Structure formats: C-alpha cells, structure tokens
Structure 1
Amino acid sequence: MKKMVLEIDNLKVSFFNSNGEVQAVRGVTFGVNEGEILGIVGESGSGKSVTSMSILRLLAESAKLKEGSIKFEGKELTTLTKKEMQSIRGKDISMIFQDPMSSLNPLHTIGNQVAEMIAVHNTNLSKKEVKQRVLQLFEKIRIPEPEKRYNMYPHQFSGGMRQRIMIAIALANAPRLLIADEPTTALDVTIQDQILKLLRDLQKDSNTSIVFITHDLGVVAELCHRVVVLYGGLVMEEGLVDDIFENPKHPYTLGLMASMPEVNQDKSIRLQSIKGSPPDMTNPPLGCPFAPRCNYARKMCAAELPPYVEVGNKHRSMCWLLTQGAPSEHNPFK
C-alpha cells in the first residue's frame, strides 16, 4: 500500500470583503499518494487555486482558513508557525505558478533566482557549490547552454523556457510534493506537450508526488493517475483517470467531457457548452451547486446537498441520481 503524502480533510476557506463572506472552498477532502500525479479540474472559481494556496499557507490577508485539516507526511500544516512553514515551503513542498513572467523577478538573472532558493534551505553550501547545483538542475530540465543561460534575464527567454525556469525553482530542493497551478495554460500546444513530458519524467525519476491543477481534461487524461473534479468549492467526483473518463458519474463531469473537442470532429458541428454560470459564492446554494445548470436536476437537488456515493474502485461522486431510490427515467447513470 502506497504512503499518503498529503491529506486534506473538510477544508473550508473564505474571503471577506465589502460584500461579505465569499465561501471559496466549502469542505474539500482528498489525498495524494507517494509518487502519484493527482489532477484537480474545474472551471474558474471552483476552488482549485485556493485549495492549493491553502496547502502552502499563501492565502491573501482577506482569506481565512475556517475549518479543516491539511497534513503533509502526517504533520498538521494549519497549526505551524510562520517560521516552521517557511522551512517546509520551497523545500519539502514547492509550487509552479501559472504565469512565469509575473512570478520571476525581471531585475535578477535566472541563475541567481534559482540559486537563492537552494541557498536559503542549504546554508552549509558555498556559492560555487550552489551554482554547480543550479547548472545541474538546468541540465536536468533540458535548458541548453546552462552556463550561458545562468546570467540571462527572464525577458530573454521564451514562454516555454521561462516555465522551465519556474520548474527549476520548484525542484531546486527535491521536494516531496510539487503543486503545479495551470503551468501550461498560456503555452502553445507544442511547448505544453514538452512541459507535460518533463513533469512526467521528473515524477518517474524522483518519485515526487504532483498535484496538477487545470481546467483542461485533455491534459488530465495525458498526465494524471487520479482526478478530483471541483465545482462550487466542493468535490463533485473523484476517481482513477480511466474510471472517470470511461464511466463518469456526475452531470458536471459529463458536461466537461462533452465540451472537449475531438480530433476527428466535423468542423461544422458546434462545440457543446455548459449552460448558465457558476454559483455566487457569497450566497452558495443549499443543495448541489451544479443543480441550476444540470439537465437532470430535480427539486431535491436544489434543496439539499447530496451525499457522496461510492461507485467502486475508490471512485466517488456527490449526486442524488446515484442514491438508492433515485428515478431511472432520464437518469444517465441508470
């Protein structure tokens, strides 16, 4: 049985502003196994990034972790001091952010930026040893001419190369857990494929656990072992990638999959979309957050939050249509 690296239990995070409380995450529970790539998928506003920022305690001042537990290798992160958290952040748990251009400092060379991450957590190393580690890291992530690139600035790199630098910073101290927050969103398909292959190879070589956040189910299918589908600050469905794609068990997952274009699709056929808009999280619905947009919703769906139903092989879904006694008429799961 694989060791659990990350355990999140009933996580609730809210933001407070002039309009009141925005309930961004409303009770998220999932885990990440050692050496596993877990995909977290959902529309913008579903709670993906807030969940990842909560793990590293990088939430904005307006945010509050109201409830729940976040354990990394058995250690509770929510009760650690700032200093204790700093010793974990960037060393044991690292993050690749979505936009490398805004994440990298334009005034410092990329070599110095990667070196700083190593030096902070390895005070016993000399400057020469730190630089040597940086150059080795550049070779590992396939940056050509490492010595030359070391003294270059972020604006001198392409988008794909800047993202490789972000990966280098994240991997500088061989973390046990890597969080990748939509790292391929702004990249073209060719560069995206290279980055995904790089992450896959790094995971195999070092047995690093990866949480990969995206809105693209195609990327999830290519890269991940398991997937968590988030919507309205809740887990709608969770399971092995093959199970989710071959046998989806939530109307939201069905909607996401139907909106994916197929390679051989007739160009005259319009892509499907999920009607409506995500819920207002200042006043989230009492029932299933997807009910107002669901083609199969009934009165109960809007009135009460459904329970999680186990559908086999650690595959679970939060949907009334899966519960005992649910009508079979117009039910995609019966």
Structure 2
Amino acid sequence: MMRLMITTMRDEAPFILEWIAYHRLIGFTDFLIYSNDCADGTDAMLDRLAELGIVTHVPNPRRGRKTVQWQALTRARNHRLTRRAEWIMVADVDEFLVIHAGEGRLDDLFAAVPDATGFAVPWRMFGSSGRIRFEEELVTAQFTRAAPDRMLWPLRAGQFKSLFRRDPRLVRLGVHRPLTEEGEPVPGQWVDGNGRPFTLTDSSFAVTAQERYGLAQINHYALGSTENFLVKMARGRPNHMDRPIDLGYWVERNFNAIEDRRILRYLDGLRAGVEAFLADDVLGRLYWQAIAWRRRRIAEALTDHQQFLLFTRLVQCPDTPVLPMELQMELHRMRLQAHPVKKPPRPRHETDADTQRRDVNS
C-alpha cells in the first residue's frame, strides 16, 4: 500500500534527513519532493536520496507569477506516484504528523477510524523553546514546548493538514486540503484530530475552543531557534511570497506554554535512521556543507545592522502568552463581525456544546 508524502523545499538541507526518517518510521512509503532556487545544497541532497531510492525529486524552478508551492502542487497532481498512491498527504519539512493511537503509526490511525477516507489533522504550534543558537541536533528533540490543547486565537491555531485516500473526484492538491471541482462536495468520510466526523469546506481552518489532539496532531516547528529564524526570514514563504516573515510572524507562533514530548517515543529509531543516511559518504558531505552554509548565513545576517536589531528584539521578546479563553472567543467574534463569511450547513452531529467551528478565509 503506497502512502505518499508530497512537499516542496528550498534551502532546507539541515532538516531533510530527520523529516524523511521520521515519516518513514510511522509508515509513509514514498516521498515526492519538489525543490526550487536552492543555495544550501538541498537539491543535491534530494538528488542523492533519489539515487538511493528513498525519494522522488523533481526540480521546480520559479516561473511566472504563481507561487512555487502552488506550481509544484499543480504538477504533482498528475505525477505517476500521485496517480498510484492509496493515501496522500501534503506537508512541509517543519510539519511532523504525530499519531497518538496505538504505536503511533499510520496503520494505528487507520485502525482507529476504519471508515475514514480523510483526516483533517490540526496544527499544534511549537515555539522556540527559548533556544537562541542554531544547532544541528534533531528539531524534534530541541523544540518540545508548544501551544496548549485548547486554543481558539490566533487563527493559525485552527489550521490543519490533510491525510486522505486518493479519489478521482479530488481533482487538485492544496496546501492544507484537497480540492474538488468548484462547488462539488468533498467525497468520503472525514474526521478531525479527535476522530470525530468533520465537514471539509473550502477553508483551511477548523476553529474550535475544545481540545483537538486526541487522535493525532501536526507538530508545526515554524520558528526554530532565533538564529535559524533569520535564515527563514530571508528565504520567505513558499505559498505567500507577498507576505513577509517578520517579528509579527514570530509573535503569532512562539507558544511555549506546555511541554509536549510525545513525538520522542520515536527518538532512538529516528536517530538510527538519520545516522544511516549520514553513513552515506555523499549525503554526509552534503549535510555538513549545508550546516556550514547556514552558519555563514547567520553570521552574515548578524553583521547587518537592521537584521541584528531584529535579532535582539526577538531575543528580548517574551513567549507569546496564551490569552484567557473568554478573550480568545471575543477576538474570534470580532473577526467574524469585521470579516463575515458564509457558513455551510452544520452537520446534525455537531452541537454548540461540542464544537464551535467556523469557516474563515485564509
């Protein structure tokens, strides 16, 4: 059974091996990876992984006005791997699917809700854990502090990623969810991060004040350390090139309210998987060259006055507070009043006491 992960990468070389090794551990069999405009050797590492039969790598240089991530997803929908896959997920290299059911693998997730054809797995935002320096240690081991189980605001807290069974009626791949022909309902039976029935709409948000991670979650390591954030800021966003990565981006995501170490159940196997990759002479050389490249970029950034000032402000910035739930709900209501959206019919199983989902524009 093919379980396919699709992603796009640019200058992510230090993080590739951990991300692939982890998702292989939990049951993904194939990786379709598009890369563009790489300066740190990401494309060379992917070429070597392709030679070893680990991934399928497709160069995706920037062309035209459409963002590179959407260009890649447009190409990926007709790729032979996508046409053959039974299950598909689109995720970034800073997103790790964590399954709480059973032994934490895809088979356990599917067994927990055997009739499900799609899982809308919610983000859990992991902050910087107070780390300033860029280190080559595993991301999942370094960053263990995150947002709480219940969070309604900021809106990003309500976003999800989709793991779904391939269906010809899902005609396009999306960053957060697959898409049907315009106006057509999404086929199949979808569930949320608790395994409860979920109505997939044209929104990438599933806003609720309730706990959301009972069955699965996406560990979203969007920031990394303060030094690493400088490199990410210079790279920009793959799917919204017009929106900057700046201090506001950091504040909206730097949640360190609780410790969540559940992904570390795989730590021994993950270290072994990464070490096996690094034992390859070519991959090992490219990996350490990428580490050196990132350290140079950080050093160069800190010699620039404006970037150094930003760095110091990030260091001075306290952890982003989790607002009282009553205030979160008020901000959400204010947002809906200022930017009203059309709501789809509410499923019969859904009640105000059990969920407070709303569709919001991304």
Q: Tell me the TM-score normalised to structure 2 length.
A: 0.26
Q: Tell me the TM-score normalised to structure 1 length.
A: 0.28
Q: Which has the higher strand share?
A: 1
